[in-house]
A and B are shown apart, each in its own frame.
Chain A
Amino acid sequence: MNLKINKKITKQKRRSASQWAVAWRRFKRNKAGVAGLFIVLAVVFVGIFGDMLAPYPAFPDPKALTPFYNGDVRTPPNSKYLLGTDTLGTDVLSNILHGTKYALYVGVVVTAITMAIAIVVGAVAGYFGSWIDNVLMRITEVFLVFPSLLFILVFVRVFTLGAGAGGTFNFLGINIPIGLTIVIIVLAVFNWPGNARMIRGEFLRVRELEFIEAEKALGASNKRIIFRHILPNILSSIIVVASLTIAYAILLEAAVSFLGFGDVNTVTWGQILENNFSDMRIVWWAEVFPGLAILITVFGFNLLGDGLADALNPRLRD
């Protein structure tokens, strides 16, 4: 009897105790976080397959106006048009489905650019300190002091006019709207300073930990310490901030488009809101449903970010 029990114990696979394995187990228990994950996965799914699922194509494809030519302008949700048609005579459901990929494009690319710059700046400032830290922090302060939305709107308008936007450019076989890309770049430029400060703070914290001194004593170079020792230790903060930045970027782009500064030729959720705003009293479904899409998506990313934050920290019990 005893022998059987012993064999069972030795055969048990030891659970991985890496920070990721531990975090995943914690995350699974967080209902809100898991809900956020599902929402995000759903949004990504729609983003990939939206173009195929949508009954009608999106503007500027002329077929988008099929409801218009059928005389179905401003019709409320019915069996033919599940979410109704809007003031331009396009199908609201199709617009939302097409707009999903743009929302993700904005969220992911803004975050990627922001984090790339923020990590470099934060690492250099936090690790090397002294005058370079001073210079970089003063630069970030400039960005943080000014009203960013105002500047974003101005820069977007200036660059959009300058680029004669409205068209798309081809990248790896996909047609990417220029106007939207300009919005993305401007958003990223004004977003990185905040994240850079956070990352710098993390570098300052980890830099003082004893294992960094131990690695130096073993002959590690600065480059090695930054990339192999400090960065992996702050990866959890970076991931959390990244998911929250995606949410923020989607929301901000919706705001920029809603205010009329976005890419008029690209049907993003914010753009739908802008198009139908004046007729909102009549065509409320064309405002409410895209608005709900924005709400759910941003909410989903926020829940995911919160869930990740809880799961990744504290990640180890000492």
Chain B
Amino acid sequence: MTETLLRIEGLKTHFFTEAGIVKAVDGVSFDIRKGESLGLVGESGSGKTVTALSVLRIIPKPGKLVEGKIEFKGENLLEKNEQEMQSIRGREIAMIFQDPSSSLNPVYNIETQLRDVLLAHKSMSKEECHGKIIELMNLVGIPEAEIRLREYPHQFSGGMKQRVAIGRALALQPTLLFADEPTTSLDVTIQAQVLELLEDLKRKLGMSLVMITHDMGIIAKMCTRVVVMYAGHVSEIAKTEDLYDHPRHPYTASLLAAVPRLDRKQTLSIIPGNIPNLIEPPSGCRFHPRCKYATKKCSEALPMLEEVDSDHFVACYEWKNITLKGASGKSD
């Protein structure tokens, strides 16, 4: 088994709003291994973005990291002070965001923004810096780098902007990159290019990639292992093939069934109901009100993750008793 790079244990991040305490992440545990592509999948509101923000400890107010442990390279990130975290962010752990149009500062040209990141963590001469920036631009595939460097974000297309954002995040060669829906706002052809770029860079730099998305197709293409989240909890963790062929959690099976398919005619399958209110979530398993296999036990206590197969974990009381269809439509 490959070495663990980052381990999250019992993470709880709550938002203390006027309407109540929103338990966005309410007891999440999983690990990220060296050099892997981990998918973090779930609906909007499942807590996947907040989990990534919690690792970097940049949770916006009124959010607060309430409980848990995050071990990175042998140290607990939750015990570090703000200055220590600032030196980790961008340098060891980085993140790219969904909308590239708004994730770059509009008043500085690209070179200045990249230079800022480099000089914030390392000191180097102007020429060295410039050289590194050209290297980065080439790495992320931006043509005519010398000219484009002096341009402003609004002069780039969406795909190009995302490449710049990726370049900025990888400027210091972090060991772990969180990619929060990096292709959601791009059109499909550009999407493919950006995903390929991420894969390529991951290999070249030997880093771990956490792909946060709600798109099961991207997971299938990019990730070797998947963590499925629902309403602030982890419902299933498995290797991608395992997850797609032998899902063990009803929610995962519903997600797979909901992907529209071109190869066969079927009505679009939906998951009935809505994601739960995170201020007053349902008792026990958060999915039980929408689950067709739910029993009384499911509404009483929260199921814990248990090992179902090699490197396959599920948080469900009924997994032994149910057979679920995989992505190919065949059941076990």
Q: B58, A217: Cβ atoms under 8 Å?
A: yes
In Å, the complex CA distance between A218 and B169 comes to 7
A20, closest chain B residue (CB): B107
Q: A210, B105: Cβ atoms under 8 Å?
A: no
Most chain B beta-carbon contacts within 10 A, residue among A211, A217, A218: A218
B178, closest chain A residue (CB): A217
- B154's partner among A129, A210, A318 (CB-CB below 8 A) is A318
- Does B56 interact with chain A (Cβ within 8 Å)? yes
Q: A14, B147: Cβ atoms under 8 Å?
A: yes
Q: B105, A229: Cβ atoms under 8 Å?
A: yes
Q: B120, A213: Cβ atoms under 8 Å?
A: no
Task: Give the interface residue-count category, chain A.
Answer: 20 to 34
Chain A residues positioned under 8 Å from B199 (CB to CB): none
Q: A219, B87: Cβ atoms under 8 Å?
A: yes
B58, closest chain A residue (CB): A216
Min CB–CB distance A237 → chain B (angstroms)? 13
Residues 202-234 of A, flagged 1 when their CB comes within 8 A of B and 0 if not, give: 000000011101111111110010001100110
Min CB–CB distance A149 → chain B (angstroms)? 38
Min CB–CB distance B130 → chain A (angstroms)? 18
Q: B154, A219: Cβ atoms under 8 Å?
A: no
- Does A17 interact with chain B (Cβ within 8 Å)? yes
Q: A217, B94: Cβ atoms under 8 Å?
A: yes
Q: A129, B120: Cβ atoms under 8 Å?
A: no
- Does A19 interact with chain B (Cβ within 8 Å)? yes
- Does B42 interact with chain A (Cβ within 8 Å)? no
Q: A210, B117: Cβ atoms under 8 Å?
A: no
Chain B residues positioned under 8 Å from A210 (CB to CB): 97, 99, 102-103
- B90's partner among A14, A18, A217, A229 (CB-CB below 8 A) is A217
Interface hits, B80-101 → A, CB 8 Å: 83, 85-91, 94-97, 99, 101
- Does B306 interact with chain A (Cβ within 8 Å)? no
Most chain A beta-carbon contacts within 10 A, residue among B101, B107, B117: B107
In Å, the complex CA distance between A284 and B305 comes to 92
Chain B residues positioned under 8 Å from A216 (CB to CB): 58, 89
Q: B151, A17: Cβ atoms under 8 Å?
A: yes
Q: B89, A218: Cβ atoms under 8 Å?
A: yes
Residues 105-135 of B, flagged 1 when their CB comes within 8 A of A and 0 if not, give: 1111100000011001100000000000000
Min CB–CB distance B276 → chain A (angstroms)? 26
- Does B165 interact with chain A (Cβ within 8 Å)? yes
Chain A residues positioned under 8 Å from B86 (CB to CB): 219-221
In Å, the complex CA distance between A221 and B84 comes to 11
- B109's partner among A18, A219, A316 (CB-CB below 8 A) is A18
Q: A224, B101: Cβ atoms under 8 Å?
A: no
Min CB–CB distance B77 → chain A (angstroms)? 13
Q: B102, A17: Cβ atoms under 8 Å?
A: no
A235, closest chain B residue (CB): B107
- Does A281 interact with chain B (Cβ within 8 Å)? no
Task: Give the interface residue-count category, chain B.
Answer: 35 or more
Q: B99, A19: Cβ atoms under 8 Å?
A: no
- Does A8 interact with chain B (Cβ within 8 Å)? no
In Å, the complex CA distance between A137 and B290 comes to 48
- Does B152 interact with chain A (Cβ within 8 Å)? yes
- Does A317 interact with chain B (Cβ within 8 Å)? yes
Min CB–CB distance B131 → chain A (angstroms)? 20
- Does B104 interact with chain A (Cβ within 8 Å)? yes
- A218's partner among B102, B120, B151 (CB-CB below 8 A) is B120
Min CB–CB distance A22 → chain B (angstroms)? 9
In Å, the complex CA distance between A214 and B182 comes to 13
Chain B residues positioned under 8 Å from A14 (CB to CB): 147, 151
In Å, the complex CA distance between A129 and B62 comes to 11
Min CB–CB distance A218 → chain B (angstroms)? 4
Min CB–CB distance B139 → chain A (angstroms)? 17
Contact (A211, B103) CB under 8 Å given A17-B154, A217-B94, A218-B169: yes
- Does B60 interact with chain A (Cβ within 8 Å)? yes
Chain A residues positioned under 8 Å from B169 (CB to CB): 217-218
Min CB–CB distance B175 → chain A (angstroms)? 14
Chain B residues positioned under 8 Å from A217 (CB to CB): 56, 58, 89-90, 94-95, 97, 169
Interface hits, A167-226 → B, CB 8 Å: 209-211, 213-221, 224
Q: B151, A214: Cβ atoms under 8 Å?
A: no
In Å, the complex CA distance between A19 and B106 comes to 9
Chain A residues positioned under 8 Å from B147 (CB to CB): 14
Q: A232, B108: Cβ atoms under 8 Å?
A: yes
In Å, the complex CA distance between A19 and B108 comes to 9
In Å, the complex CA distance between A155 and B105 comes to 44
Most chain A beta-carbon contacts within 10 A, residue among B56, B91, B108, B109: B108
In Å, the complex CA distance between A81 and B192 comes to 80
Interface hits, B157-205 → A, CB 8 Å: 165, 168-169
- Does B155 interact with chain A (Cβ within 8 Å)? yes
Contact (A218, B168) CB under 8 Å given A14-B147, A17-B155, A129-B61: yes
- B104's partner among A211, A224, A232 (CB-CB below 8 A) is A211
21 A-B residue pairs with Cβ-Cβ distance under 8 Å, sorted by A, are A14-B147, A17-B151, A17-B154, A18-B109, A19-B107, A209-B102, A210-B97, A210-B103, A211-B104, A214-B97, A214-B168, A215-B105, A217-B90, A217-B95, A218-B90, A218-B94, A219-B89, A228-B116, A235-B107, A316-B152, A318-B101
A: residues with CB less than 8 A from B are 14, 17-19, 129, 209-211, 213-221, 224, 228-229, 232-233, 235, 316-318
Q: Given A129-B61, A219-B85, list of 11 further CB < 8 A pairs?
A: A14-B151, A18-B107, A210-B99, A211-B106, A213-B60, A213-B103, A214-B97, A214-B103, A214-B104, A218-B117, A219-B86
Nearest 3 interchain pairs by C-beta: A218-B90, A219-B89, A210-B102
